[in-house]
């Protein structure tokens, strides 16, 4: 089969995979069909695949050059593949595109490593549950040692020109975050929950999840969940103190008593500047217009994710690209509609080309300059002490 025919055949398979994920979306930690489809494609592309890796719907695929039994020294690059859907919105975050784009990038890197004899390891990590209410899988992979020995961790993700969380082609405005669960007990428990919401709403994201279902029946229990978010770790500590003060004040004002539980703080992701620069250069070379969106002056807006700890442990890149025609940000119905379009997949494959070129630049390095630069970057980050909770 001619090279051009092989390329077209691969692209058709990945388009079909994206369409199947769209038709049959699976929620966090239930992505069995997506897991099987992606693993089958990676096996077909020459990767050694471990299914059910760490999680029941996780996987790890690896390609080595030179292959076993020859020893492999030096650089190892991993691609992150996400494939879960959102409740009620399907693939409104574009994980059908992420899966197809990651396969395209992995295939391109593997074939170049084989043809050009680029020594090193290429790993594809299937990470389930990214859309879970409290995403934690990347941190779990770190704790399980699944990221040990990796030089860099790269990921691709679609976005919209209307997504205010992005300020250029690299996502830099992600946030630090911490969960808060609250229960109010007493005749005025609903009043307390509503009052707390009004106090915290300007600085937190939250819902009153329980407050009675019949206005004719007295309610003595109300429950709320919040995620405290902030542009940096120090501000997150301040917002936790604000929440604690608000809880005490509301309880005193309403005569209720409360139970509260703070989750473990998650630091703001800090992506690697060298990888950002490499990706931006490759985007320009491919002719793809950089995803540039100017944030409102002096304001920040961010995405709650589990990249924080991982991005501080090793060099990471979360490369973004604009989906043509998107009339709303990710997690909106408008975005869910556009990720099913052929232009969305075209943009995905163009961005995957730039990501593959970035990964190859890392694989071709023969020293630890990237890791050294990452350690220097992390040393400049002030991390406030974690409060007891």
Please, which residues bridge with residue 59 across strands? 51, 126
Which pLDDT score is estimated for 368? 61
pLDDT value of residue 3: 62
**231 vs 137, more confident:** 137
Is residue 80 over pLDDT 70? yes
Neighbouring residues of 344: CB distance < 8 A, sequence distance ≥ 6: 94, 97, 158, 323, 324, 325, 338
Q: Which domains does the chain have, with CATH numbers?
A: 3-174+269-379 (3.40.630.10), 176-262 (3.30.70.360)
Average pLDDT, the chain: 85
- Binned at pLDDT 50, 70 and 90, residue 29 comes out as very high
The residues facing 170 across adjacent strands are 319
| Higher-scoring residue by pLDDT: 110, 301 | 110
Tell me the per-residue pLDDT of 145-173, one tens digit each, with 9 for 90 and over.
999 999 999 999 998 875 544 433 333 34
Task: Output the pLDDT for position 302.
Answer: 47
Average pLDDT over residues 238-251: 93
Q: For residue 347, is pLDDT > 80?
A: yes
What is the per-residue pLDDT for 70? 53
What is the C-alpha to C-alpha distance for residues 46 and 250, in angstroms, rounded to an integer? 60
Residue 45 has pLDDT above 50, yes or no: yes
CA distance 52 to 39: 10
* Percent with pLDDT over 90 in the chain: 56
Looking at residue 387, its pLDDT comes to: 41
Cα(8)–Cα(48) distance, rounded to whole angstroms? 24
């Amino acid at each position: 089969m001619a090279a051009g025919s092989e390329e077209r055949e691969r692209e058709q398979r990945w388009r079909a995979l994206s369409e199947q994920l769209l038709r049959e979306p699976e929620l966090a930690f239930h992505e069995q069909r997506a897991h099987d489809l992606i693993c089958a494609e990676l096996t077909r592309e020459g990767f050694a695949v471990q299914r059910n890796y760490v999680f029941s719907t996780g996987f790890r695929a690896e390609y080595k050059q030179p292959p076993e039994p020859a020893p492999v020294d030096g650089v190892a690059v991993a691609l992150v593949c996400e494939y879960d859907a959102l409740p009620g919105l399907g693939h409104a975050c574009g994980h059908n595109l992420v899966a197809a784009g990651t396969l395209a990038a992995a295939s391109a890197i593997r074939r170049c490593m084989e043809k050009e004899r680029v020594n090193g390891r290429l790993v594809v990590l299937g990470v389930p549950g990214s859309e879970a209410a409290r995403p934690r899988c990347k941190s779990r992979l770190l704790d399980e040692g699944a990221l040990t020995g990796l030089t860099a961790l790269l990921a691709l993700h679609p976005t919209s020109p209307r997504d205010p969380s992005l300020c250029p082609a690299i996502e830099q405005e992600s946030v630090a975050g911490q969960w808060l669960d609250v229960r109010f007990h007493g005749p005025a428990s609903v009043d307390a929950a509503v009052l707390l919401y009004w106090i915290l709403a300007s600085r937190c994201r939250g819902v009153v999840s329980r407050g009675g279902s019949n206005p004719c029946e007295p309610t003595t229990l109300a429950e709320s969940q919040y995620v405290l978010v902030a542009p940096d770790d120090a501000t997150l500590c301040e917002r936790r103190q604000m929440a604690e003060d608000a809880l005490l004040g509301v309880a005193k004002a309403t005569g209720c008593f409360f139970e509260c539980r703070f989750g473990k703080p998650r630091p703001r992701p800090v992506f690697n500047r060298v990888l950002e620069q490499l990706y931006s250069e490759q985007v320009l070379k491919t002719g793809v217009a950089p995803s540039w969106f100017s944030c409102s002056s002096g304001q920040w807006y961010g995405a709650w994710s589990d990249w924080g700890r991982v991005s501080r442990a090793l060099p990471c890149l979360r490369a973004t690209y604009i989906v043509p025609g998107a009339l709303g940000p990710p997690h909106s119905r408008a975005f869910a509609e556009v990720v099913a379009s052929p232009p969305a997949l075209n943009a995905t494959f163009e961005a995957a080309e730039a990501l593959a070129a970035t990964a190859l630049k890392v694989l071709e390095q023969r020293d630890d300059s990237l890791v050294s630069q990452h350690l220097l970057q992390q040393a400049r980050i002030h991390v406030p002490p974690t409060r007891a909770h």
